[in-house]
Chains A and B, each alone.
Chain A
């Protein structure tokens, strides 16, 4: 059989499923977002977004929370990835297992775990108050900080694995070479390890950013009513207000912003030099 034909046939089942449950509904949603109550064409759902600063603020908050999550996962994940890069194969396996293990539990359960830990009567506030370090409980929940903590917990695994994969490819003797040429450990990190981890940084940050932008469960549970993000208000429009066209428009605005930001970001980082160094 022709190779091309066999590939087409083998991928056909997946393609049909994707077309039926993903592409078609997406197109229907897109059409819906341009309809008014009488199913006539309108731009008012999108116009509303620009006119009412309420929605722009929510979009900006969604981006802000996502950026903080990216920063937190990057800073917390980098040392773990560096440890994995120099560890033995066995140790890498063990660390990977520990990083992925929380994902065996539903994100809902994990978020409730955080509620118990971070709440006003959670053990962090109880401990700090008993030690006399604070008088009033800290607000760690139902604000942006709470959402960032929850999202960081949810997505740090993606960051660590993306960074580690990139670091495995770095020849360990490069650090030795830098060191013997006179570079301190910090210098070696900033001039050798960090630039060579760039592909992993790009992969990890875009992945975590996209996931954070579209996260629904964690902002809903850990942000409460005060920290609404785009997926949450889109959900509300569709499920509570039953304003499907507006909900659809919000969803597409979120999708569009995410794609735009990620594209700009990668274009900015992937310079000519980057392509020359990392192109395979």
Chain B
């Protein structure tokens, strides 16, 4: 089965005055795919979404939706659905009128309109709010209605502009699962802009990591997490321990690095090539490190340190261990009895060679 490309960005460039905010963005989104644009504020993710929606015009490159070049086509002719951060429901219309707005513009008959409004309200699990005004709804309900309004026109593409960031933590998680369910149910091609790496990892088929207008990496959540293309990607996605050092040995099994803090770290073979004495940066994720009370090796790496801080966070405990001149962050699962250790005790940090990521130190 050949892949159908729904959206294609070819060398998209956007400048504000002399500021380049999006630089040479290339991407192909397949039909039914859920893509996240992930990055810190000012990385160009929202600008790119606004170009896809038609609110901004690219200064270079081509934008194609369903194979049609869209540069210069106004938003109201693009047949897209969009959900905004601030819900953006029309306050002077009831929920039903809000949802029917796009249908009315498409001259859908009255009967069909009512049926479609009813169906989409059931889809977002709010069948009984049709006659209410947006301000009579909670934040989570409003966002569901905004999603319903975007979906009811059966858009060729659904754009989500940080739709969860105005909600509190619990609701956000609930609505995140809801988005996933909706996507599985209707399979509409979706582009989702977020600065929240967890949301991106949980929802997306693929993630585009952006930084300062550049695409740092495009890949599946697993690829992004486990094989980051750059230090930025690795540090932006989740917490990590970062140590500078120098390659002191390379053999068939892997690479040995001595850190500036005096630790000797054994790493498995890396995707990149390194040379002896090369300055490198070593990364280990906090959840990959296991704490033990005795010096019995459980992984290729073990360092002795003392527990400086332990913050109990419910399902896990976040610990800080001082080892050599480094302070390592360690995530201990609740099931591990080591979560009950007191600050000041001597502990051993263990991790496997496979869990070590090495990057060349800043080029130039």
Contact = CB atoms under 8 A, between A and B. Distances in A.
21 contacts: A171-B86, A171-B88, A173-B85, A174-B88, A174-B90, A176-B55, A176-B88, A177-B90, A178-B90, A179-B54, A179-B75, A180-B53, A180-B82, A181-B105, A182-B79, A182-B102, A183-B76, A192-B90, A195-B92, A196-B92, A277-B91
Closest 7 A/B residue pairs (Cβ): A181-B102, A177-B88, A182-B105, A179-B75, A173-B88, A180-B82, A277-B92
B78 interface: yes
Interface of A: 171, 173-174, 176-184, 187, 191-192, 195-196, 273, 276-277
B76 A184 contact: yes
A94 B159 CA distance: 37
Contact of B153 (A174, A181, A276): A181
B267 to A, nearest CB: 48
B81 interface: yes
B145 to A, nearest CB: 12
Contacts of A195: 92
A196 B88 CA distance: 13
B74 interface: yes
B316 interface: no
A182 to B, nearest CB: 4
A182 B91 contact: no
A159 B90 CA distance: 24
B101 A181 contact: yes
B72 to A, nearest CB: 15
B105 A187 contact: yes
Contacts of B81: 180
Contacts of B80: 180
Given A177-B89, A180-B159, A187-B76, 14 more contacts: A174-B90, A176-B82, A177-B90, A177-B149, A179-B54, A180-B76, A180-B82, A181-B101, A181-B102, A182-B77, A182-B105, A191-B101, A192-B90, A196-B91
Contacts of A180: 53-54, 75-76, 78, 80-82, 159
B88 A277 contact: no
A176 B84 contact: yes
Among A173, A179, A181, A184, chain B packs the most CB atoms within 10 A around the CB of A181
B88 A182 contact: no
A157 to B, nearest CB: 27
B105 A276 contact: no
B142 to A, nearest CB: 12
B106 interface: yes
B225 interface: no
Contact of B106 (A176, A178, A182, A277): A182
B10 to A, nearest CB: 22
A173 B92 contact: no
Contacts of A178: 90, 101
Contacts of A191: 101
Contacts of B78: 180
A173 B91 contact: no
Given A179-B76, A195-B92, A277 B101 contact: no
Interface in B239-296: none
A18 B85 CA distance: 50
Nearest to B74: A179
B216 to A, nearest CB: 28
A191 B101 CA distance: 9
Contact of A276 (B75, B77, B133): B133
A205 B172 CA distance: 44
B55 to A, nearest CB: 6
Nearest to A198: B92
Contacts of A174: 88, 90
B105 to A, nearest CB: 4
B143 to A, nearest CB: 13
A177 B105 CA distance: 13
Contacts of A273: 92
Contacts of B91: 196, 277
Contacts of A196: 91-92
A124 to B, nearest CB: 40
Contacts of A181: 76, 101-102, 105, 149, 153
A273 B132 CA distance: 11
Nearest to B146: A177
A14 B291 CA distance: 76
A119 to B, nearest CB: 46
B85 to A, nearest CB: 8
Interface in B128-172: 133, 149, 153, 159
